A and B are shown apart, each in its own frame.
Chain A
Amino acid sequence: MKISREDVLRVAELAHLELAPEEVETYRGQLDEILSYIGKLQELDVSNVQPLTQMRPRSADGASVVGAGVEPELRDDVVVPCSVADAVLAEAPDAAKPFFRVPKVIER
């Protein structure tokens, strides 16, 4: 068994998910099966392999994508007007312009 009930509850807590009691065992069983399958990655020797951290293809031969060290192309940092606040707030469940309103965070 790769994953316990406690693991499921801990992960749900980290992910801000509330689980019904009956869901915990279902997810435990499913995640356990998936993680057991994923365990096959341990078969490979990756000691001399760089992780592929940036999917940035550059050329037709693709040589530059394998491994690390390819710097992203950055645009110039130019200030441009942006007046989307009203449109954005219009989609909020609870807005008090110019803020999003949420339940009280600080107790005193």
Chain B
Amino acid sequence: MSASPTWTIAGVRDALLARKTSARELAEDFYARIEQRNPELNAFLALCPERAYAQADRVDAAVAKGQPLPPLAGVPVAIKDVISTESVRTTCGSKILQNYTPPYDATAIERLVKAGVVILGKTNCDEFAMGSSNENSAYGPVRNPAALDRVPGGSSGGSAAVVAAGLAVVAIGTDTGGSIRQPGAYCGIPAMMPTYGRVSRYGLIAFASSLDRIGPFATNITDVATVMSIIAGHDSNDSTSAAVAVADYLAEMEKPVTGLRIGIPEDYFGEGIDPEVKTKVEAGIALFEKLGCKRVPLKMPHTDYAIATYYIVATAEASSNLARYDGVRYGLRVGGNTLMDMYRKTRERGFGAEVKRRIMLGTYALSSGYYDAYYLRAQKVRSLIARDFWNAFEKVDAILTPTTPTPAFKLGEKTADPLEMYLADIYTVTGSLAGVPGISVPCGKTAAGLPIGMQIFASHFGEARILQLSRAFEKAGGFSI
């Protein structure tokens, strides 16, 4: 088999049905690519050939018998290492779970497997998904396939990198403050964060439970829509999962965009934006106007408070969620003379610097005497940020912004200053706090060849609207504008 083609979900299906390849051969081909490319990218933390080939053989048996194939039959996928996969080591990019193997599949994984995917392995990420560059992984940073001296973004940097480098057809990531969209933008591929509650979080190892979401990376919008239609839907194992019907994304996304109102919040184009990013996103907006969309200027006055709000809400929830890593039930244990001693030594040794920093920040914000000033106030500002979105969606069908203020930065460029790193998420955290869905789609490159991302938000459960606009943009050549 040639290692050159960019595989799509439909391409895999056609090749299997035409007997041009088998699911096993395809998996072998991808493992060969991974062996060649992963040493420089460091994007995979674990490979699971045994599980992959067992699934591939099931698909091949179905092809041989002429049985109907499930929608994602034989599609090679990669899963971010914060999502539980039965019999496959899941570390969350942390030393504290270095030897942890989950006894079950997350709901999203279970659905993908039922749809026929072949899971190749687990992708590198910032420790417990806390980071914007993948440099907080205990297993070393991922490198950006578009420029090896640059970060792939974070926290789902590995998932973005493997799809961009052709080491998986689709990857699954998680987004808490931008962790799907920002690496999607930096690596130059579509990357979608669904509405909060649209995809079950069961089996997603929690960072910030009111913000965490699971979503796909792919090379094209059709594949994003196909994966979304599999993983979306209610799950009785997640009390925050929504009992809202899932739209027919593949049909909806082909509808014309003429007449749609696109909101452009001026607050996202001000101070700090790279001129090349601004130029390309402006060109993207102009393309939508050419397609018949109406441009509506917006004000979202609380945008500037989103990072501060996010770093209280997310760290408070993290400090609570990560209390479970105490050396008792799973993961690392460092012995001590007393129970307390064991807890403290285990957590000291097991957690990296950023995780400790966020646990302390969250603990501080929730502690007696500071709760009202920090946590309660942040929850109130979160309401104001959400209200900015509701007010906007009374006037527009979607909101369009840059995904990030700059293209991918260099490895090591922001590691010395945690606050500067946090500000890399300035355009993505707003939608996280409001619970709305968002996507990053490719929107050209800088003169130096670095990918630029454009972000599209819609109102709650407006995934179909986002896919419709993204598909129109893709068809009109917007990805390489």
Q: Which residues of A come within 8 Å of B, CB atoms? A: 3, 7-8, 10-12, 14-19, 27, 30-31, 33-35, 37-42, 44, 46, 49-63, 65-67, 72-75, 84, 87-88, 90-94, 100, 102-105
> Considering residues A33, A50, A57, A94, which has the most beta carbons from chain B within 10 angstroms of its beta carbon?
A57
User: Other CB < 8 Å A-B pairs besides A7-B364, A57-B195, 9 of them?
Assistant: A18-B347, A18-B348, A41-B309, A52-B386, A57-B196, A87-B103, A87-B104, A93-B330, A102-B339
Within 8 Å CB of B374, what residues of A? 38, 41
Tell me whether A93 and B308 are in contact in the complex, defined as CB-CB below 8 angstroms, given that A59-B460, A62-B460 are known contacts: no
Take A15-B363, A17-B356, A34-B361 as given contacts and tell me if A102 and B240 are in contact as well, using a CB distance cutoff of 8 Å. no
Tell me if B435 and A103 are in contact (CB < 8 A).
Answer: no
Residue B462 at the chain A interface, CB threshold 8 Å: yes
Q: Is B305 an interface residue (CB 8 A)?
A: yes
Closest to A74 in B: B239
Instruction: Tell whether, in the assembled complex, residue A34 and residue B419 are in contact, meaning their CB atoms are under 8 Å apart.
Output: yes
Query: Which residues of A are found within 8 Å of B338, using beta-carbon distances?
Result: 103-105
Please pick, from A17, A18, A88, A100, the residue contacting B103 in the complex, using a CB distance under 8 A: A88
Please name all residues of chain A whose beta carbon is closer than 8 Å to the beta carbon of B359 when the two chains form the complex: 15, 17
Say yes or no: B419 contacts A11, CB within 8 Å: no
Residues of chain A within 8 A of B435, CB atoms compared: 55, 57, 62, 65
Known: A62-B460, A87-B103, A102-B342. A50 touches B360 (CB 8 A): no
Please give, as numbers and ranges, the residues of chain B lying within 8 Å of A56 by CB-CB distance: 197, 240, 242
Q: Is the interface of B mostly helix, strand, loop or mixed?
A: helix
A40 to B422 CA separation, bound complex (whole angstroms):
15
Residue in chain A with minimal CB distance to B195:
A57
- Which residues of the partner chain B approach A39 to less than 8 Å between Cβ atoms? 308
In the complex, whether B146 has a CB less than 8 A from a CB of chain A is: no
> B339, B351, B382, B387: which contacts A103 (Cβ < 8 A)?
B339
Q: In the assembled complex, which residues on chain B have CB atoms less than 8 Å from the CB atom of A27?
A: 356-357, 360
Contact B418 A34 (CB under 8 A): yes
> Does A31 lie within 8 Å of B379, measured CB to CB?
no
User: Could you pull out 13 A-B pairs where Cβ atoms are within 8 angstroms?
Assistant: A8-B360, A33-B419, A41-B308, A44-B302, A50-B383, A52-B386, A57-B196, A58-B242, A62-B393, A67-B383, A84-B103, A87-B103, A105-B338
